Amino acid sequence: MQRSQQPTVSVVVPTRNEARNLQVVLPAIAAVRPAVHEIIVVDGNSVDGTIETARRVLPWVRIVEQTRKGKGNAMACGFAAATGDIIVMFDADGSADPAEIPAFVQALVDGADFAKGTRFARGGGSDDITLLRRSGNAGLNGVANMLFGTRHSDLCYGYNAFWADLLPLLELPAVDAPAPGDGSMLWGDGFEIETVLACRVAAADLRVTEVPSYERERMFGDTNLRTFADGTRVLRTLAAERRRASKKTEQKAEQPAARMAPAPRPTQPPVRDGHPARNGHAVQNGHAAPNGHAVSNGHAVSNGHSVSNGHAVANGFAPQNGFAPQDGLGAPRPHHRPERDTLPVPPTTEPVTAHFTAVSPTEDVTPVAGPRPAQRPSPRPVNRPAVGSDRPAPDRAAAQREAVDARYALEEEAS
C-alpha cells in the first residue's frame, strides 16, 4: 500500500474533567512542528467546563462528545471523526510529551503500521508509575507476548500512533451502538482499549515499531485509572482476544476456495479493436463471427472447425495442396485440364460394348468388358465380310477401286 511521505496528523485527546490540564496541553500540541492537521477533543460528560476551556484556549480545536462511557469509546469516537492520514492517541492529563509526536510519525513513515510508545526502552522512562503498576504491567506484558508471539515491552502504555487506513482491521465497537441497559460497558469501551489495539494489530500481522517515550506525572486532578479493576479487565481482554484470533484463523482455514462465478452476459455489446460485437460475439480484425463461431485471421470458422491457410477444415481433415478433403477421404488430386488435341470421352448411359473372342460352340461364351478408350473410336467399315466367310473385309480404298473397274467393264460390254 502506497502511503504519503508527508502525512497529515490527527491528534485525539479523550477528556473527562480535564479543563485545567487542557490549558497547558492544547497549546503545547499546537506548537509541535511540523504542525499537526487537527486536534480532536472527545469529551465524556465533563462538568468542569472542559469543552469551553478547549474552545477558549484553541479556537480551531474540534470537539466531539462520546456516545457511551469509557476511555475506549471516547477513543473510537475520535478515530471515527479524524480526517488525517495518521492518528495519534494522546492523554489529556499532561503526562505525555507533545514533542515526541514527530518521532511517532517518523516511525510510521519509515514503514511501520503501528507505532507503540514504550517507557521501558532506552530513551524512555516514567515519573508516574508505581512499583505495583510496574509489576502488574510486566506480568500482563509477558502474557500478551506468550499468547500472540509479540515482543512488546510496554503493553498498557496509551501513547500510540497508527495509520488511519487500519481502522477497518481493528473492528472497534461501533460508536452508534446502544449502551448496555445494565450500566456496563461494551467490550473495548474501557481502559482495555490499548490492550485491544495491541492484540488486534498482532493478530492482523501488522508491523509494529516501539518508540521510546517518557511519562511525566499528572499535572492537575485525580487519575481515573483503577489499578486492580483495570488490571483484571486487561487480563480478561488478553484471553478474549486470543480466543477471537484463534476463531478467525480457524474460519479462514475452513473457508473453501471461492469458485469463479461465470461472467454475466453484458447488456451492451462489447467492443474490441474499435468494432462492436454482432449477435453477442466478439469481432476480431474487423470481421464479425457468423453463427456464433470465432473468427481467425479474417476467416470464419465453419462447423466448429478451425481455418488453416485460408481454407476451412472439413470434418476434421486438414487441407492438402490447397484443396479441402471431402467426407474424410483425404485430399483428391487436382483436376488437370485435358490437352487440346485430345477429345474427352462423352458421358453415356449406354452399356459398355463387350468384346468377344472366337470359341468353339461347346464353350461358354462370356463377355469381357474392356476399358473405355480415351479417344473416340473409328467408324465401322462400309463393306463387311459375309457371314461364315474367312476372307477379311476389304478396306474402303479397295472397294472404291473395284467399283470403278466394274463400271469400266460394263461400259466396254455395252459398246
Note down pLDDT in tens along the chain; length 415 residues.
689 999 999 999 999 999 999 999 999 999 999 999 999 999 999 999 999 999 999 999 999 999 999 999 999 999 999 999 999 999 999 999 999 999 999 999 999 999 999 999 999 999 988 888 888 888 888 999 999 999 989 998 999 999 999 999 999 999 999 999 888 888 888 888 999 999 999 999 999 999 999 999 999 988 767 778 778 888 999 999 999 999 888 887 877 655 555 555 545 444 444 444 444 444 444 444 444 444 444 444 444 444 444 444 444 444 444 444 444 444 444 444 444 444 444 454 444 444 444 444 444 444 444 555 455 555 554 455 444 444 445 566 677 777 777 776 777 777 6
pLDDT at 93: 93
pLDDT at 103: 97
Q: Which secondary-structure segment (H or E) carries 307? A: strand 307-308
d(CA 77, CA 90) in angstroms, rounded, equals: 14
Three-state DSSP at 353 gives: coil
pLDDT at 2: 82
The answer to whether the predicted template modeling score (pTM) of the entire model surpasses 0.75 is no
Q: Which residues contact 111 (CB under 8 A, 6 or more apart)?
A: 207, 209
d(CA 154, CA 145) in angstroms, rounded, equals: 11
Residue with cell 478515530: 79
Which has the closest alpha carbon to 240: 272, 277, 275, 203?
203
pLDDT at 81: 97
d(CA 145, CA 404) in angstroms, rounded, equals: 141
Do 198 and 152 contact (CB within 8 A), yes or no?
yes
pLDDT at 250: 84
Three-state DSSP at 354 gives: strand
pLDDT at 222: 80
d(CA 144, CA 133) in angstroms, rounded, equals: 16
pLDDT at 60: 97
Do 302 and 292 contact (CB within 8 A), yes or no?
no
Largest CA distance in the chain: 179
For residue 47, the one-letter residue type is V
pLDDT at 298: 44
Q: Which three cell numbers, joined as nine digits, stand for 170?
A: 481493528
